Amino acid sequence: VSSEQTSANLKIIPSENFAEINKFKEKDPEVEIFSLDANDLISGIKSVAYAASLSDVKPEISSIFIYQKDSQLVFVATDSFRLAEKKIKLNSGNSKNFSFIIPVRNSQEILRIFEKTAGPVKIMVSKNRLAIKSDRVYFTTRLIEGTFPDYQQIIPKVFLAEAALDRESFLGGLRLSN
């Protein structure tokens, strides 16, 4: 590459030296495929990622658990002290419920890559891989092969007290207390 004032040589590697991306076959019965608005995907991940453990000791809790329940996609993360759950309504219900666990570090990459994407993305999930496809990007990653803790058993079914607060006043009070 050269211009009037400078010249540079770029060292490149032939594309044959890179591994090919093993893309999903969409007609494979082992692959769950659904569409989701990119903003909903980003919102779901952002809403729970802060609660995921940063330690790699237990990969299941240093991840985001995503599963379908009825017509909702549920995002969950925990570090065993905090728990975050976000439910997003799916436009098209799948015939069967599914679940998968994304490493939290990979979810940060998903946020970075798809944050400015508008419109739907196609999500393809197999036993150990995830692919997210938009008009311009094909992102693929390995999934955690394990079992996410049964977090629903620790959520109380009955509450002794209930309070209704004005959201803005409550948030203002929290800000002042910091």
The 10 Å Cβ neighbour count of residue 17 is 6
Query: Which range among 79-83, 89-93, 112-116, 160-164 shows the weakest confidence by mean pLDDT?
Result: 89-93
Comparing 46-50, 59-63, 166-170, the range with the smallest average pLDDT is: 59-63
Q: What pLDDT was estimated at residue 59?
A: 83
Question: What is the chain's alpha carbon radius of gyration, rounded to the nearest angstrom?
Answer: 21
Q: Work out the mean pLDDT of the chain and round it to a whole number.
A: 88
Residue 96 has pLDDT above 80, yes or no: no
The C-alpha angle with vertex 106 and arms to 104 and 107, in degrees rounded to 5, equals 60
Amino acid, res. 34:
F
> Which residues are bridge partners to 132 per DSSP?
123, 139
pLDDT, tens digit, for every residue of 125-155? Answer: 988 899 999 998 999 999 998 889 888 888 8
Token pair 């977090």 in the structure block, residue: 151
pLDDT of res. 28 = 75
Report whether 143 contacts 99 (CB < 8 A). no
Q: Is the pLDDT of residue 157 over 90?
A: no
Contact 49, 108 (CB under 8 A): yes
Residues paired with 87 in a beta bridge: 74
Q: What is the pTM of this model?
A: 0.78
